[in-house]
Amino acid sequence: MAGYKKLSKRPSLRNAIVSNQVTALLWNGKVETTLARAKVVQRVAEKIITLAINTYKDTVTVEKDVIVDGVTTKKQVINDGPKKLAARRKIMSMVYDVQEVRVKDETKADFIERTKDIKHPIMEKLFNVIAPKYDLRKEELGQGGGYTRIVKCGPRRGDAAERVIIALV
């Protein structure tokens, strides 16, 4: 993540902070932080979302042989294409993996059934929810970018740092 503000932190800590906040932004939709951090998070998040938008449609359908009770059957499986796979790996290096949580009043069996095929929930959300939403927005408005918004909230108590909320549009 070269080319960004230093945020008065050493590189490993700075990269961890930015990755953590970008992950929280993509997972929750908004994050409250300082203005300097929000500007760095905005740059990284916009690049990640653009990469996902450009590659989310790249899929390949493959037939696989499945053996059930000694009987071989063919099954259609949808795999990521080479561009989407490369983008997924690049994005996974920039964000942390978030574990799915049970919703209120959901039984353990229902939770396991809902999440049994999902290995990386943040990637699934990015490629299946966020990217199609912003691709449709891009086609309607005829412009790319501008996926995040920074709203100022005033100074923070204690050190008077400018608080902001960065949110997905």
Q: Is residue 1 predicted with pLDDT exceeding 70?
A: no
- Which CATH number covers residue 34? 3.90.1030.10
More confident residue, 1 or 51: 51
Per-residue confidence band for 63, with pLDDT thresholds at 50, 70 and 90 = very high
- pLDDT > 90? residue 29: yes
Question: How many angstroms separate the CA atoms of 120 and 19, rounded?
Answer: 16
In a domain, 21, yes or no: yes
Q: What is the DSSP letter of 143?
A: -
Range of the domain at 21: 11-168
pLDDT of residue 74: 92
The string of pLDDT tens digits covering residues 122-136 is 999 999 999 999 999
What confidence category does residue 68 fall into, taking pLDDT thresholds of 50, 70 and 90? confident
* Domain annotation covers residue 2: no
Confidence of residue 2 (pLDDT cuts 50, 70, 90): low
**97 domain residue, yes or no:** yes
Give the residue with greater pLDDT, 89 vs 2: 89
Residue 4 lies in a domain: no
Of all residues in the chain, the percent with pLDDT exceeding 70 is 98
* CA–CA distances in Å: residue 125 to residues 3, 71, 147, 148: 27, 35, 15, 16
pLDDT of 10 strictly over 70: yes
On whether residue 1 sits in a domain, the answer given is no
The Cα angle at residue 78 between residues 112 and 137, in degrees rounded to 5: 90
Tell me: pLDDT of 4 over 80: no
Looking at the structure of the chain, the number of domains it has is: 1
The pLDDT value given to residue 89: 96
Calpha distance 101→68 (Å, rounded)? 32
Cross-strand bridge partners of residue 64: 75
**Residue 6 domain-assigned (yes or no):** no
Q: How far apart are the first and last CA of the chain?
A: 23
pLDDT tens for 73-123 read 999 989 999 999 999 999 999 999 999 999 999 999 999 999 998 999 999
